[in-house]
Structure 1
Amino acid sequence: MAVVQFMVSLDLSVVNVGLPEIRTSLGFSEVGLTWVIHAYALTFGGLLLLGGKIADLFGHKRLMMLGLPVFGLASLVGGFATEPGHLVAARAVQGVGAAALAPAALALLTATFPSGKERVKAFGVWSAMNAAGGAFGVLIGGLLTEYAGWEWVMFVNVPMAAVALALAWRVAPDGPSTRRGRPDVLGAVLATAGMSLLVFGVVRTDQHPWTSSQTLTTLTVAVLLLGAFVYVEKTTSRDPLIRLGLFTNRSVAGANAFILFLGGGMASAFYFVSLYLQRVLGTGPAKSGLEFLPFAIGVIIGSVLAIKFGLKVAPRNILIVGGVLTAAGFAWFGMISADGSFTGDILGPSIIASIGIGLCLAPAVSLATAGVEPHESGAASGLLNSTRQIGAALGLAALGTAANERTGDRVTLEALNDGYALAMTIGAVIVLGAVLIALAVLPRTAAPEAVAEPDARGAVPGRD
């Protein structure tokens, strides 16, 4: 399950470094090239809620075993693409596979380790692989692009999917079928359409500003569809896609809000630091990837610390410390200079921010699935993944707009640097917002090893 999450997370960043070569090789236009990223984000973010519900209805392991071949084959086809449409289509199918994989794997992890020390350790391993996938994606993408060709940023997923598929056979089979009412087809359509349009509207803000009629219309329709989805979920006599009562659980609501803000900050870190290294400092793709290695190591260190302290300290307190460290690292990134260097401007904040991120992820995921009944674990997992994806899309689009506004029409290194520095500073403020949410919303729960087993209705004492 950790391999699955590493692969899904890796694919969010591994393509980025290879985009210039992809454009030259396949003849993408400047606008068309963005759809190599957007196609994956659109289907992944739009289908996560539906993927979580399908996992609950038909079995978490079964859906994971189906999603892995889809993801692997789409990666293989994408590597053999000979024109832009082929690669964009392959990326979209990758997103479909990821939307099936991510909630199913997380639900299996939740069910396999329901409480206690083993849960803390399991989520620590999972969170390390999750965040390291994003950081190593830049490293792997840079090395593959420079020394093997852009095709390998797609091919690299094939052996990982094969390994994950082989390992998945060892996972214990799904338990008895979850209760199945009549499926909420209308809710599924509204949620998928609303989420897809929301992601679509946000990711296109690089072409159409936030105040443009195209963006405003798209986001308005998305909000209306999601509002209709909430109404349907509240009134339907069928089995809802997401039971709105989940949000009355402070752990679930608070952890999702925390991840929404943290996701926005994390996306901006990978994106703007990569641009700073390549466009301001003039670092090549392979070396830029190598310079993300301290970030990946820091995430692993933070995850190990989360396991160690998670046995003694309440998850809420670990989130607060991790969030403060992350915000401090991002604020330090905001001090980059046009005549700077990797050791002077990037290394220090990379270590601080990455340790903070490593501390945050496992407790947040554990809280987001705490007190959730087994037949809703897939829906809760899909909700969390969807929240993070939306946070990343919103954060990156908003900070990208801020950076572009600061840079303006200037084409100097100083202008680019000013834009990236502003974006990272705003990212620090966003992460501080996550810390405030942890302080205000999350319950002051006991340390995980002291938490009781779920009761008959699936609630954990002290977490509702």
Structure 2
Amino acid sequence: MNKRAILAIILASYVMIVLDTSVVLTGLPKIHLEMGFSDSGLAWVQSAYTLTFGGFLLLAARAGDVVGRRRMLVAGLALFTLASLAIGAAQTPAMLVLARAVQGLGAAILAPSTLALLQTTFAEGAERTHAVSLYSATAGIAASVGLVLGGVLAEWMSWRVGFLVNLPIGVAMIWAARRYIPESPRSSGQFDVIGALTSTIGMSALVYALIRSASAGWGDLLTQAALAAGLLLLVTFVANERSAAQPIMPLRLFADRQRASAYAARVLFLGAMIGFFFFTTQYLQTVLNYSPSLTGVGFLPMTLMNFAVALQVPRLTRRFGNARLLAFGLLVCLIGMAWLSRVSVHSAYLTAVALPMVLIGAGQGMTLSPLTAAGIAGVPAQDAGAASGVVNVAHQLGNSLGLAVLVALHATGAHQLSGAALLAHRVTTALTASSIFLILALLLMVRLQRAPVVVS
């Protein structure tokens, strides 16, 4: 078994997923103008992707255990690549959102296989810690590179090119996977279709209600109906998982307080980070009047610090342990986010944006790898796919639900303001809420530090 080749395929495949989560962000103002999205509707360019991504992750993770992880990896790569082509060719908002949803489905098939293959290929201990650190560092770096790349392409070529570059990468990874990755043993079983449908539709309805509330208000009947339907379906999902013979989300994974805290903290952390990316991008372009390419470059203080710190995570983990490193990383990120949330229409980039970004980048670099390790700690081999699915679900749930909450909150107040002043106020509101997310995640990490590891 060529472990280096397998790791390279896993990392390259994961880069595609993360890159397309962030490459769109610096191109959002261009997409807004070119495609004719409304202010609140623009969030669906991101949420359509993250919703189907998070909604079908658990079912796809289970499918990898049943039909083979290499087969699912190849299928996910193929669907993701074709959807990228459709996004690049989209001519209407509806076509773009639909193609992003299909791309999210491809990512849902692809992502659990990458993490499960990493788990089963590398032995628990130093070898897996190194591989997980590279996996998490790749995620942070790809997200940051996507911001720069998206801005450069949006200004100098077209935002569409950021998606079309997936075509040669996807084809190459399909070939490499078939050549270097051995197929995993199949296990007998059945698919929890009811669980997949109730979780996906329930989360979609909940996110729709939150985003719609930003424009229609909470008194709107459709907003209320979507909220009620979403909550009812999610309650049904949990009840189904308790009684299903082979649930897509085994509730026993949450019996370990360490893993349960890590999942919840991941949701909160990613909710805060998507708010940082989504709203800071618009602040730089609309308030500070940066071009898309300069906006991408404006994120370099975070990108470079993230990269530098993420490379030190294995050494820091050995010295301080997962829980302490997590708590400190979240604290650093919180300080940076709270600082950045004070921006105004008169703020200077260096002191109000760049310096807080340094702290946010350092905090992110220290946080993602320990969060991933905590989410799969002590999981038996038969639950590897399900555990990796829950880690990725928490990641995408944080993105989609977090963004929906922040979009709903950022529209409140300051009705007397307009133009750049209004946007600056809304960015401040959203990033203040992101800071609160990080406070809650930090409190969970205090609980995690006290929790014993329990092997399921």
On whether the aligned pair clears a TM of 0.5, the verdict is yes
The corresponding residue for 2:50 is 41
Read off the aligned partner of 1:215 and give its amino acid letter: T
Q: 8 Å contact 1:199–1:390 — kept in the other structure?
A: no
SS state of the match for residue 320, structure 2? coil
Q: Which runs of 4+ in 1 moved over 4 A?
A: 23-34, 442-445, 461-464
1:177-256 correspondence runs (5 A): 177-178=186-187, 180-210=188-218, 212-236=220-244, 238-256=245-263
Aligned mate of 2:23, from 10, 14, 20? 14
SS state of the match for residue 246, structure 2? coil
Render the CA deviation track for 1:78-129: whole Å, top value 9, x for unaligned: 2123344433332121111011111111111122224111222111111111
Are the structure 2 counterparts of residues 420 and 135 from structure 1 closer, same or farther at C-alpha, using a change threshold of 3 Å? same
Read off the aligned partner of 1:231 and give its amino acid letter: A
Are the structure 2 counterparts of residues 254 and 87 from structure 1 closer, same or farther at C-alpha, using a change threshold of 3 Å? same
Aligned mate of 1:140, from 131, 135, 149? 149
Q: Distance in 1 between matches of 2:34 and 2:142?
A: 26
Q: Does 1:89 align with 2:89?
A: no
Q: Distance in 2 between matches of 1:5 and 1:210?
A: 38
Q: Distance in 2 between matches of 1:276 and 1:19?
A: 12
1:9-408 correspondence runs (5 A): 9-26=18-35, 33-169=42-178, 171-178=180-187, 180-210=188-218, 212-236=220-244, 238-408=245-415
For residue 59 of structure 1, report the CA deviation from its aligned partner.
1.8
Question: Cα RMSD (Å) of the superposition?
Answer: 2.3
Q: Distance in 2 between matches of 1:313 and 1:463?
A: 22
Q: 8 Å contact 1:49–1:192 — kept in the other structure?
A: no
Q: Distance in 2 between matches of 1:312 and 1:95?
A: 37
Q: Distance in 2 between matches of 1:112 and 1:424?
A: 39
For residue 8 of structure 1, report the CA deviation from its aligned partner.
1.1
SS state of the match for residue 417, structure 2? coil
Deviates more, 1:355-364 or 1:163-172: 163-172
The corresponding residue for 1:449 is none
Q: Distance in 2 between matches of 1:341 and 1:221?
A: 45
Unmatched 5+ stretches in structure 2: 1-9
For residue 152 of structure 1, report the CA deviation from its aligned partner.
0.7
For residue 267 of structure 1, report the CA deviation from its aligned partner.
0.8
Q: Distance in 2 between matches of 1:462 and 1:186?
A: 29
Q: Distance in 1 between matches of 2:252 and 2:267?
A: 19
Q: Distance in 2 between matches of 1:437 and 1:386?
A: 18
The corresponding residue for 2:431 is 424
Are the structure 2 counterparts of residues 207 and 175 from structure 1 closer, same or farther at C-alpha, using a change threshold of 3 Å? same
Read off the aligned partner of 2:263 and give its amino acid letter: N
The corresponding residue for 1:452 is none
Are the structure 2 counterparts of residues 251 and 149 from structure 1 closer, same or farther at C-alpha, using a change threshold of 3 Å? same
Read off the aligned partner of 1:173 and give its amino acid letter: P
Q: What TM-score results when the alignment is normalised by the length of structure 2?
A: 0.91
Are the structure 2 counterparts of residues 206 and 47 from structure 1 closer, same or farther at C-alpha, using a change threshold of 3 Å? farther
Q: Distance in 2 between matches of 1:55 and 1:405?
A: 43
Unmatched 5+ stretches in structure 1: 446-460
Render the CA deviation track for 1:111-154: whole Å, top value 9, x for unaligned: 22241112221111111111222222221111101111222122
Q: Distance in 2 between matches of 1:159 and 1:72?
A: 9
Read off the aligned partner of 2:227 and give its amino acid letter: L
Are the structure 2 counterparts of residues 419 and 77 from structure 1 closer, same or farther at C-alpha, using a change threshold of 3 Å? closer
Q: Distance in 2 between matches of 1:227 and 1:186?
A: 12
Q: 8 Å contact 2:47–2:400 — kept in the other structure?
A: no
Are the structure 2 counterparts of residues 45 and 213 from structure 1 closer, same or farther at C-alpha, using a change threshold of 3 Å? farther
Deviates more, 1:133-142 or 1:13-22: 13-22
Q: Distance in 2 between matches of 1:204 and 1:16?
A: 20
Q: Distance in 2 between matches of 1:83 and 1:410?
A: 31
Q: Distance in 2 between matches of 1:73 and 1:326?
A: 36
Read off the aligned partner of 1:293 and give its amino acid letter: L
Q: Distance in 2 between matches of 1:64 and 1:83?
A: 30
For residue 183 of structure 1, report the CA deviation from its aligned partner.
3.2
For residue 45 of structure 1, report the CA deviation from its aligned partner.
2.3
Q: Distance in 1 between matches of 2:267 and 2:37?
A: 32
For residue 357 of structure 1, report the CA deviation from its aligned partner.
0.8
Identity rate, percent: 34
For residue 198 of structure 1, report the CA deviation from its aligned partner.
3.0
Q: Distance in 1 between matches of 2:143 and 2:75?
A: 24
Q: Distance in 1 between matches of 2:200 and 2:36?
A: 32
The corresponding residue for 2:443 is 436
For residue 265 of structure 1, report the CA deviation from its aligned partner.
0.8
The number of residue pairs the alignment matches comes to 447
Are the structure 2 counterparts of residues 440 and 309 from structure 1 closer, same or farther at C-alpha, using a change threshold of 3 Å? same
